[in-house]
Amino acid sequence: MIILGLDPSLSCTGWGVIRSEGSRLAHIANGQVKTDAKAPMAQRLAHLQTELALLIAQYLPDRAAAEEIYLNKNPQSTLKLAQARGAVLAACGAAGLGVNEHAARLVKKAVVGTGAAEKAQVQAMLKILLPGAVVAGADAADALAVAIADAHLGPREAAR
């Protein structure tokens, strides 16, 4: 099973693709889709959707997994995150790809063993679970963690 993990963000959306065969995991690819902060919102969202559609077409995942939205203290930040997440989910939906959604605490618990894990702990576990993988950055690491968590949580009914 090929799983596309996603860490949506307006400025830099992380993505990671893994293969899951039983309890065995293998890294396929990872990266980050950045948008131009000076571009109009519609162009930024279109860029995210287009880039994700290209990734889906290239890697042909069986399903996707995304981190659930969290509420910031700043409502504007939450709104921008929600819009970016909408563009990412729309790309998955347009490709007919089901998406499982996971809370950040659940992702950390599945990867590290505790929902209160720090980013450094998650990144250290990625090195163990995906040996030899060169991670493109913190957002790509988060996306790989989402994919791994989805693999560990097992097959579920993915939202379509």
Q: Domain with 111 in it: what CATH number? A: 3.30.420.10
Name the binding residues for Mg(2+). 7, 67, 139
Q: Which residue has the higher pLDDT, 155 or 27?
A: 27
Instruction: Look up 101 and say whether it is catalytic.
Output: no
The residue annotated as part of the active site, out of 51, 67, 101, 150, is: 67
Query: Has residue 160 been placed in a domain?
Result: no
Dist. CA 95–CA 107, nearest whole Å: 24
Query: Has residue 125 been placed in a domain?
Result: yes
Instruction: Look up 150 and say whether it is catalytic.
Output: no
Dist. CA 66–CA 9, nearest whole Å: 11
The conformational region for residue 113 under phi > 0 = left, psi -120 to 50 = alpha, else beta, is left
Q: Which residue has the higher pLDDT, 55 or 77?
A: 55
Residue 90 domain boundaries: 2-153
Query: Has residue 158 been placed in a domain?
Result: no
Reduced to 3 states, what is the DSSP secondary structure of residue 115? coil
Instruction: Look up 67 and say whether it is catalytic.
Output: yes
Query: Has residue 159 been placed in a domain?
Result: no
Position 111 scores a pLDDT of 92
H helix intervals, 11-137: 41-59, 75-94, 104-112, 119-129
Under the banding of pLDDT at 50, 70 and 90, the label for residue 128 is very high
Position 132 scores a pLDDT of 92
**What's the mean pLDDT in 98-126?**
92
* Res 27 pLDDT > 50: yes
Name the binding residues. 7, 67, 139
- What total number of domains does the chain contain? 1
The residue annotated as part of the active site, out of 7, 51, 101, 150, is: 7
Task: Return the structure tokens found at 159.
Answer: 């939202």
Under the banding of pLDDT at 50, 70 and 90, the label for residue 160 is very low
pTM of the predicted model as reported, rounded to 2 decimal places: 0.92
